[in-house]
Structure 1
Amino acid sequence: MDVRVGAVAYHPRIVTIWEAFLEHFEREDVPTDYILYSNYERLVEAVLAGDVEIGWNTNTAFVALEQRLGGEARILGMRDIDARFATLIVTRRGEAFGEVGDLAGKRLALGSRDSGHAAILPLHYLAEQGLDAASECELARFDTDLGKHGDTGDSELRVIRAVAEGAADAGALGEPTLAAFRGERVPAVSDLEVAWRSPTYYHCNFSALPSLDEALARRWEGALMAMSYDDERMRQAMDLEGVKRWLPGDRAGYGSLAAAMSEG
Structure 2
Amino acid sequence: MVRLGGTATANHMEVFEGLEKLFRRRGIDLEWVLYSGYDNMVDAFVKGEIDLAWNGPLSYVKIKRLAANGVRVIAMRDADINFTTHFITHADSGIDTMEDLKDRSFAFGWRSSVQAGLLAFSFLKDSGINPSKDLSANSFYDDRQPDSKSDERDVVERVASGEFDAGAVSQRVMETMAEDGTLPRDAVRIFWSSPGYSHCCFTSQNDLDPKL
Return the TM-score normalized by structure 2.
0.89
5+ residue gaps, structure 2, are none
Q: Tell me the residue number matched to 1:158.
A: 154
| Structure 1 spans left out of the alignment, 5+ residues | 145-151, 221-264
Quickly say closer, same or farther: Cα 1:204–1:71, change in 2 above 3 A: farther
Identity of aligned residues (%): 25
SS at match of 1:219: coil
| Aligned partner (choices 199, 206, 209) of residue 202 of structure 2 | 206
Contact 2:97 2:191 in 1 (8 A): no
Task: Return the alpha-carbon distance in structure 1 between the equivalents of residues 7 and 43 of structure 2.
Answer: 13
Q: Answer yes or no: is the 8 Å Cα contact 1:153–1:177 preserved in 2.
A: no
Equivalent position of 1:219 in the other structure? 211
Structure 1 residue 187: deviation in Å?
A: 5.1
Query: What is the CA–CA distance in structure 2 between the aligned matches of 1:171 and 1:191, rounded to whole Å?
Result: 13
Structure 2 CA distance for partners of 1:184 and 1:49, relative to 1, 3 Å? same
Corresponding residue of 1:169: 165
Specify the alignment match of 2:86 in structure 1.
88
Q: Which secondary structure state, in structure 1, belongs to the residue aligned with residue 178 of structure 2?
A: helix
What residue is the counterpart of 1:7 in the other structure? 6
Within 1, Cα distance between the matches of 2:125 and 2:141? 20
Q: 2 CA distance for matches of 1:198 and 1:52?
A: 34
In structure 1, C-alpha distance between the alignment counterparts of 2:29 and 2:72, rounded to whole Å: 20
Q: How far apart are residue 30 of structure 1 and its match?
A: 2.6
TM-score between the two structures when normalised by the length of structure 1: 0.72
Q: CA deviation at 1:36?
A: 1.0
CA deviations 1:57-78 (Å, max 9, x no partner) are 1112112222324894321111
Q: 1:181 aligns with which of 173, 177, 180?
A: 177
| Residues matched between the structures, number | 207
Q: Deviations over 1:28-74 (max 9, x none)?
A: 22322211112111111111111111100111211222232489432
**Counterpart Cα distance in 2 of 1:53 and 1:143:** 32
Per residue, is there more helix in 1 or in 2? 1
